[in-house]
Structure 1
Amino acid sequence: MFLSRTRPRLLSAAITTLAMIAVVAVSGSPAAHAATVSSSELSSGWALRSATGLADSGATISQVGYSTAGWNPVSLPSTVLAGLVANNVYTNIYAGTNLQSVPDLTGQDWWYRGQFAAAATSPGQVYWLRFKGISYRAQIWLNGQQLDANAVGTFVAHEYNVTSVINPGATNAIAIRITPPRHGCNDLSVCTVDWNPEAPDMNAGVWGRTFVDTTGPVAVRDPYTKTILPLPAINSADLTVYTDVINATSAPVSTTVTATISKAGFPTTTVSQVVSLAANERREIVFDPAGYPALHMSNPALWWPYQFGSPELYQLSVAASVAGAASDSKAINFGIRQFTDYRTAVQGTTFAGYKVNGQPILFRGGGYVWDMLQRWNTKTNKAHVDYVKSMGLNTIRLEGTLGNEEIYDLADAAGVMVMPGFVCCSAWENDSGWSAEQEQVAQASLNTQMRALRAHASPFMWNYGSDQPPNAVHLAAYKSVATGLHWQNPTLDNVATWSNANAGMKMDGPYKWEPPVLWWDTSRQGSAFGTTGEEGTEAPPPLESLAKFLTPAQQWPVGGTAWNYHVGRGGSVFDNTGVYTTGLNRRYGTTTSAADYSKKSEVMNYENTRAFFEAWSARQHTQTFGSIWWMQNNAWPALHWNLYDYYFKPGGGFYGTKKATEPVHIAYDYSGKNVFVVNSTLVARNGLTATVSVHNVPDLSQKYTTSVAVNATANAGTQVLTLPSITGLSPTYFIRLQLKDSGGTTISNNLYWYSTTADALGNKKNWYSTSIKTYANLTGLNSLPSNSAVTTAASRTVAAGQETVAITVTNTSATNIAFFLRPEVTAGNGGNEVLPVTYTDNYISLWPGESTTITAVYQSTDLGGQQPFLRLRGYNVPTASTPVP
């Protein structure tokens, strides 16, 4: 770090060098009085402006009473662009090509200024100022005194002991001068690579939460419980508690550190030790079972991913006291669980697999990204985790989108795993020419982010690199950081075998649309074998969402300037949907309007994601070990790479995924014509019956049927039959799969549409796609008779601001299928679907005379004061809307 001459000395040079945590020393001896222990987030009362044209120094701007007339009022956290958008300096920037009208905001510095009231002082009280995320470089002043001349690193936390600078019980002023990251991902900052345009400010600003804390002379930091099980047994656990304590004074101090582990309904465990700290010392304190037998726990409640069990959480509370007086305390939740990894060779390459509590688990997930302006709140974070769980996925991959700690908390509670790591294709991977400062920032970034992640139950591994591994020197430094932090989960050097044969994961595409057969044909790159760090395809959102960011003229014909602007990074191979649109037109019939394009794309998105996750699930733990769909969601309204769109409207990709990942599921193999039953739970399901029938389109005449008995092994896929060659089929036909238990209850119901002209792949063309030689003929779907004989009934319950709607849909036609039905709860008659929303099922198809009931759940406030209506539409069913009582 570069320090100004007026800055007080650092508390701990070693910690500062490694973790970039700057701490200002304070004089005085501890007193035997209970200090105020508090933490206040500094979110309101801030102002933002460009540093250009402002001659005042930070020493002046950080004086109480300094006028910010003409500045932009902002609430923190906020990037520069987010603050300007909130003040309508730039408006509607996600629509069309409006983002292009925002100038480059990185060629100037930016001032943030805020005032806050500090708590009144008490004997021995210490004040701390903490920043969870500043990008990229900052000069920080408090009450006219510079705290830091170069707080650098987007993913580095910065903390200061400001006791000698604070105005206790009075108003205080902070000034922060921000220097933005460089464009082109040339700094160790946020990089969105090629999935959307770069933010004009490169996400500069105070993007993380900011706090002022008060403690006594000894502060507690980063408590963490590491859990070890006696695998394969899981009837006990050894817990090791780590915590840092800081002597914030310039004199030696003796402190009692107490750790308490508790959970309702279970015995409480308390351990403590007396520690002598030198002046200004920061030290890690350890409680382990060897020294504290109470930390050997019998019959603990384990944390499980939700499909395997309950995600049970304990609480760890760590307190420090001095001379009997409370000095500081921290409490966190943690899970008792253990992730381990193993390697298996498939097709000549060794791939990584993972176990939780001794049970192999197929990780299935998507790549999460935050909003392009890094705006989020609890509702948004919760919706993401709820949607992952609703889709039946168990993993969220974070490729460089690190630091949204509420996501970790929500994933812990939901039983969803987290796969964190650094981003590709940027300064993070172009590390051969790093400066000394960049090396420091990289290690400090890992230190900060691992400290935030290590205590959580949900992370099951860490990726040091994405497409490519760090060089040997930097990788060794990273691993040293992880060892020093007692990281308890597996790690990978990177997740792409093309750059590192021992990576353990492959990343061989595709990234553009391919027909479902590719996922199943294991002779092809990108198919379902081994472990994949990412792959995915284009995914235009439903028309209702398109209309929110594209005008009618921009929606149709597809492929115009505004359309392509929302596909991928301009100038990249992902700046158009040409491959996708060709496949749509060739397979489903030439589209004639935006509505027709959206209608057919929803069906194709469903078909594609369903096949992807089915193929990865069918041979789990023998040939497949984990897969990430690229991407889970979008940073802005986009037409490429998502399972649900920016507005949280679940579409075909969402429901295709949801169908494929049912707890017990029956699936069709497009390549081998096999039928699999996949049991993704830890409980075997015996006495099942699988029935397959094949029907012509449009008359539904049956051309083939068979039934077989099935015992579905726990946590495995089982091949149950192979479809023979069938004569007399129409060019487009249906394959109907049903799985029932011994009592006749349907466990899984799955309908496929395919063709006597099968999709055929050409040779591998490039790193992002495989050429397509022949397209399936699915145009027979367009000849399905219109079916207006579908009825609906709905009932609603409201509790604690949440509404639950039971929707019964019945196909009363005696002859016609109701294909690809979409029930939606809308805000008012003809309004948009209420969002976010979860349904137990959707995009359903009903045979003549069939009925089904699904459930929708949403928040009352998301109706916007409108009455809920039930809208029903389908591929061959006209739109109808009725009020929900």
Structure 2
Amino acid sequence: MPVVRRRSRPILSRLLALLLVVLAAGVVDARGATAATVSSTELTTGFALRSATGLADTGAAISQVGYGTAGWTPVTLPSTVLAGLTAAGVYQNIYFGQNLKSVPDLTGQNWWFRGEFTASALTPGQVYWLRFKGISYRAQIWLNGTQIDANAVGTMVAHEYDVTSLIRPGAANALAVLVTPPAHGCKDLSFCTVDWNPEAPDMNAGLWGRTLLDTTGPVALRDPYVRTVLPLPATNAADLTVYADAVNATNAPVTTTVSGTITKAGYPTVSFSQDVTLNAGERREIVFTPAAYPQLHLANPALWWPYQFGTPDLYRLSMSAATGGATSDTKSIDFGVRQFTDYRTTVNGTSFAGYKVNGQNILFRGGGYMWDLLQRWDTATNAAHIQYVKDMGLNTIRFEGTLGNEELYDMADKAGIMVMPGFVCCSAWEDDSGWSAEQAQVATASLDTQMRAMRAHASAFLWTYGSDQPPTAAHLTAYKNVAAALHWQNPTLDNVATWSNANAGMKMDGPYVWEPPVLWWDTTKAGSAFGTTGEEGTEAPPPLESLQKFLAPADQWPIGTAWNYHSGAPGSVFDNTTPYTTGLTSRYGSVASAAEYSKKSEVQNYENTRSFFEAWNAHEYTQSFGTIFWMLDSAWPSVHWNLYDYYFKPGGGYFGAKKANEPVHIAYDYATKKVFVVNSGLAARGGLTATASVYTIPDLAQKYTTQAAVTAPANASTQVLTIPALTGLSTTYFLRLQLKDAGGAVVSDNLYWYSTQADVLGNKSNWYRTTPKTYANLTGLNSLPSNSGVTAAATRTASGGRETVTITLTNTSATTLAFFLRPEVTAGNGGGEVAPVTYSDNYLSLWPGESTRITASYLTADLHGQAPYLRVRGYNVPATSAPLP
């Protein structure tokens, strides 16, 4: 990283200046040493943005205090160019319809970010550091009239400067950054959205990461990290190795005492320390090993466990550097005592990677995270993502190139959600055979920056150097050298696609468009639930209420240009949802309106996503070892690839995933007609009974029923039943699976709708699709009689800004099923569903006379001042709305 050294001054004048400051400040520690201020201030306000085109002034002038910015666009950091212009109203409602097309290309010009800030007062020996967590793509940086970097390059590279000689302590300072945007078409080593939505018109140029002004004494600490090793298979001890970099910011040798403590409530405090002499300007890694510091061998540590496996316990590491007896810098992190290991198993002739945590097999299941198209996020948004991941029963988030949202990593640590970082596919990142020397340097610097940010996190379990294709040998070696130098403690993969690298350990064979549920179970088909997959998924049109937020009524139906613009990237094979719509109309019947399309698509999304996760879960550790659904969320309002939509309105795919991933679940295999019970926890469940019953539609006549006693071993899938070939069924029929405990309480309740005319997959297959040959006939659902006999009673409690609603739903009809019921807490009568929101269950069905109780939880603030209402509707249940008490 580039470092600007302080300007030299005559020794006498420096001593006099320091003496004056000491006398003025009067800050002296108990041993007589003067303590520098240790602080970190994020620079956010007081900045403005404008195109460099037509501006003749240089950085030397623009970075002077008092420079006039009349006509510039005010901007709050961090911000990309387009995010800043949109926030200021220069471009409006750009996610609606095709409005994004009206934004001009913003990459053909450079952009100035300029602002003023007040620096803290100077104390003796104090050093000022200017740190940029993310600039895209290239920048010239000026401070108070002086250029401190002529070429800060690399979107994912952090940049840090000692600016002590340039800062005006206790006074106004001016910072100016001239940004050169990345090239379109993913031609730079920048962020890239490949084919899942249109490119941002600015390619996310700007100061997208945090900008910080830090103060330390003469020695600064950087990147503390604790590597944890368990005596596997035992977990009753742990060896900790602590690393931190110490930086001497002076022009002379300095002796510093680097100390640390490890704390956790209820556990002994561990302390350690060593004296180090650093040469002038030296940056050195300081290491504390269990061999030299036996106290770093912990007995019976609290372990960090992923979600559904246990508690994600965290320890606190606090470190300090002292010079002359005074604190020079401090750093603290949370870390987990845990160990991820990998293994290989051959399935269908291919070697696949599996993973263990603390010696226990773990099936990773998750989704591919996308930040907003303009890279906007905040704490509430990050918290909603983590909340939804857990609510769906997922345990993993994949970051394919969307690296740098460090707050999300922190939240994942606390929630027990594993994270899978790596670089993006289909771009300059993978077109590395022709890299320039600068690009090669940017790539390794990017890895160094991002791996430093990730390595201390308990949630990080894997790093993938490539996605669809592995890096070339030379660059892969350079990457692995970076990981070794950083003591990366987790498994790595060269890439995640066996089609390009037979030893990758993961496959990426698609599909990426809709397939019938049987595909996930038929392990003769590409993309089915065998091995380990880095990603696969389907189109997922959002609920009607979300469509209405980004499409005009005429664009909602019939499907046309505006709809397709919100599918995949224009000109890609994903710029339409034809496979999805063909499947929907062929299976559920013709569609005449947006409302009808949404009603049926919600059912199809639920059915398909539930089956996806059920198949991967049911085959765990024998045929399947981990899966990532493409995608978790969408970068903008999309009709393709998401488990929940841009507005955080949970829909059919969300609740299908939630059902499939419940802690103990009973599931149906569409290919073999077997029934499985999957226990996702580390405690066995005995005394269970599984029941399978088949009913005709619409009369609900029971044509078959059977049951079996079940013991569900910990962290395992067990086959418990097989549904025989049946006769006398209606063309569309119901299969109801239930799992009850010894007391008769329902553990898992799962309703399937299928057909005597099964989905049949064809032999035509490519990297994104296996084309169905024939479709199931599910139109019998449309013959279900209307049911107006569903009643709803609710209570509401509020505490700490959060509300909990308990809802009791009853089907009072003596003859008619209430199918696919959707209770929603809305903001006002007829308003939108409050979001984000979690429900204990949803999109459920009630047999005649049945009743169920569910809970909903949300923040009061997300009602936006409206009174809460309960809306209830279903596939054959008319909508009702009533105020919540």
TM range (shorter): over 0.9
CA distance in 1, matches of 2:678, 2:302: 28
Match of 1:284 in 2: 285
Structural mapping, 1:481-496, within 5 Å: 481-496=482-497
**What is the match of residue 425 of structure 2?**
424
Amino acid in structure 2 at the alignment position of 1:834: V
Alpha-carbon distance in 2 for matches of 1:479, 1:135: 25
Deviations 1:233-260 (A, max 9, x none): 0000000000000000001000000011
Q: Deviations over 1:339-364 (max 9, x none)?
A: 00000000100100000000000000
2:799 corresponds to? 799
**Residue 5 of structure 2: aligned partner:** 24
Q: Within the alignment, does 1:542 sit opposite 2:523 as a pair? A: no
Aligned twin of 2:615: 615
Instruction: Report what 1:15 is aligned to.
Output: none
User: CA offset at residue 26 of structure 1?
Assistant: 5.8
CA distance in 2, matches of 1:111, 1:800: 43
Partner of 2:766: 766
Q: Cα RMSD over matched residues? A: 0.9
Distance 1:26 1:213 in 2: 19
Please state whether the residue corresponding to 1:537 is helix, strand or coil.
coil
Query: Which residue number corresponds to residue 84 of structure 1?
Result: 85
Q: Report the Cα distance in structure 1 between the residues aligned to 2:839 and 2:722, rounded to whole angstroms.
A: 32
d(CA) in 1 for partners of 2:866, 2:570: 40
2:608 pairs with 1:594: no
Deviation at 1:408, TM superposition (A): 0.1
| Mapping of residues 28-43 of structure 1, within 5 Å | 32-43=33-44
1:662 matches 2:662: yes
CA drift of 1:765 comes to 2.5
- Distance in 1 between residues matched to 2:2 and 2:306, nearest whole Å: 34
Map of 2:716 onto structure 1 = 716
Counterpart of 2:23?
none
Partner Cα distance (1:619, 1:574) in 2 = 30
| Residue in structure 1 matched with residue 139 of structure 2 by the alignment | 138
Q: Deviations over 1:107-130 (max 9, x none)?
A: 000000011100000110000000
Once the two structures are superposed, what CA deviation does each residue of 1:506-553 show, in whole Å capped at 9, x if it has no partner? 000000100000000001111000000000000000000000000110
Q: Cα distance, 1:827 vs. partner?
A: 0.3
Q: Distance in 2 between matches of 1:705 and 1:342?
A: 41
| Cα distance in 2 for residues equivalent to 1:818 and 1:627 | 33
Number of the residue aligned with 2:58: 57
| Structure 1 match to 2:681 | 681
CA distance in 2, matches of 1:412, 1:840: 23
- How many Å apart are 1:713 and its aligned residue? 1.0
> Are 2:853 and 1:872 aligned?
no
Amino acid aligned to 2:571: G
Q: Deviations over 1:679-706 (max 9, x none)?
A: 0001111111000000000110000000
Partner of 1:13: none
> Cα gap change, 1:21/1:294 in structure 2, threshold over 3 Å: closer, same or farther?
farther
Query: In the alignment, does 2:790 pair up with 1:784?
Result: no
Which TM-score applies when normalising by structure 1? Answer: 0.97
Do the aligned residues in 2 keep the contact of 1:26 with 1:249 (CA within 8 Å)? no
SS of the equivalent of 1:853 reads: strand
Match of 2:754 in 1: 754
- The separation in 1 between residues aligned to 2:433 and 2:4, in whole angstroms, is 31
Q: Deviations over 1:191-231 (max 9, x none)?
A: 00000000000000000001001000000100000000000
1:772 maps to a residue whose letter is P
Q: How does 1:457-856 map to 2 (within 5 A)?
A: 457-558=458-559, 560-856=560-856
SS at match of 1:64: coil
Shift of 1:24: 2.9
Amino acid aligned to 2:421: P
For residues 685-740 of structure 1, give each alpha carbon's deviation from its aligned partner in whole angstroms, at most 9, with x where no partner exists.
11110000000001100000001001111111001111111110000000000000
Cα separation, 1, equivalents of 2:80 and 2:641: 25
Q: Is the 8 A contact 1:26 1:250 kept in 2?
A: no
**Structure 2 counterpart of 1:871, which letter?**
R
Aligned-partner residue type, residue 506 of structure 1 = K
Q: Aligned runs of 1:257-276 on 2, under 5 Å?
A: 257-276=258-277
Separation in structure 2 between the aligned mates of residue 578 and residue 552 of structure 1, nearest angstrom: 20
1:116 partner amino acid: F
What is the letter of the counterpart of residue 138 of structure 2?
R
Could you list the runs of 5+ residues in structure 2 that have no partner in the other structure? 19-32
Cα deviation digits, residues 174-197 of structure 1 (max 9, x gap): 000000000000000000000000
Pair 1:380-2:381 in alignment: yes
Partner in structure 2 of residue 148 of structure 1: 149
Amino acid at match of 1:526: G
The whole-number CA distance in structure 1 between the counterparts of 2:213 and 2:75 is 18
Q: Secondary structure at the match of 2:384?
A: helix
2: distance between equivalents of 1:495 and 1:851? 46
Letter paired with 1:732: T
Q: Read off the aligned partner of 2:477 and give its amino acid letter.
A: A
CA distance in 1, matches of 2:524, 2:764: 11
Name the % identity: 75
Equivalent residue letter for 2:5: V
Judge conservation of contact 1:81–1:203 (CA < 8 Å) in 2.
yes
Does structure 2 retain, via aligned residues, the 8 Å contact 1:26–1:161?
Answer: no
Alignment partner, residue 343 of structure 1: 344
Q: CA deviation at 1:459?
A: 0.7
Deviations 1:564-602 (A, max 9, x none): 000000000000011100000000000110000000000
1:379-398 pair list within 5 angstroms: 379-398=380-399
Match of 1:237 in 2: 238
Distance in 1 between residues matched to 2:285 and 2:320, nearest whole Å: 14
User: Given residue 857 of structure 2, which amino acid in structure 1 is its aligned partner?
Assistant: V
CA shift, 1:22, in A, is: 3.1
C-alpha distance 386-23 of structure 1, shift in aligned 2 (>3 A): farther
Q: Is the 8 A contact 1:26 1:248 kept in 2?
A: no
The corresponding residue for 2:22 is none
**SS of residue in 2 equivalent to 1:238:** strand
2:199 is aligned to 198
How far is the alpha carbon of 1:25 from its aligned partner? 4.1
Equivalent residue pairs, number? 865
Indicate conservation of the 8 Å contact 1:52/1:108, yes or no.
Answer: yes
Superposition TM-score, scaled by structure 2 size: 0.97
Letter matched to residue 747 of structure 2: I
- Residue 436 to residue 845, structure 1, CA distance change in 2 (3 Å): same
The 8 Å contact of residues 540 and 640 in structure 1, kept in 2 or not, is answered as yes
Matches within 5 A, 1:267-416: 267-416=268-417
Residues 21 and 157 in structure 1, CA contact (< 8 A), matched pair in contact too: no
Q: Which runs of 4+ in 1 moved over 2 A?
A: 20-32
SS at match of 2:377: coil
Offset at residue 619 of structure 1 (A)? 1.5
Q: Aligned partner of 1:847: which letter? A: W
Q: Is the 8 A contact 1:619 1:716 kept in 2?
A: no
- 1 CA distance for matches of 2:301 and 2:280? 40
Query: How far apart, CA to CA, are the structure 2 residues paired with 1:530 and 1:767?
Result: 17
SS in 2 for 1:725: coil
Residue deviations 1:616-649 (CA, integer Å, cap 9, x gap): 0001011100000000000000000000000000
Matches of 1:745 and 1:810 in 2, distance apart? 18
Call closer, same or farther: CA 1:427–1:698 in 2, change over 3 Å. same
Q: Distance in 2 between matches of 1:155 and 1:767?
A: 30
Shift of 1:306: 1.6
Structure 1: give runs of 5+ residues left out of the alignment.
1-19
1:518/1:527 contact within 8 Å kept = yes
Could you report, residue by residue, the CA deviation over 1:791-820 in whole angstroms, capped at 9, with x for unpaired residues?
001111111111111111111111111000
SS of 1:192's partner is: coil
User: Which region of structure 1 is more displaced relative to structure 2, 764-773 or 577-586?
Assistant: 764-773
How far the C-alpha of 1:23 sits from its partner, in A, is 4.3
Q: Distance in 1 between matches of 2:837 and 2:205?
A: 32
Instruction: Tell me the distance in 1 between the aligned counterparts of 2:764 and 2:180.
Output: 44
Aligned to 1:5: none
Aligned partners of 1:462 and 1:868: how far apart in 2? 44
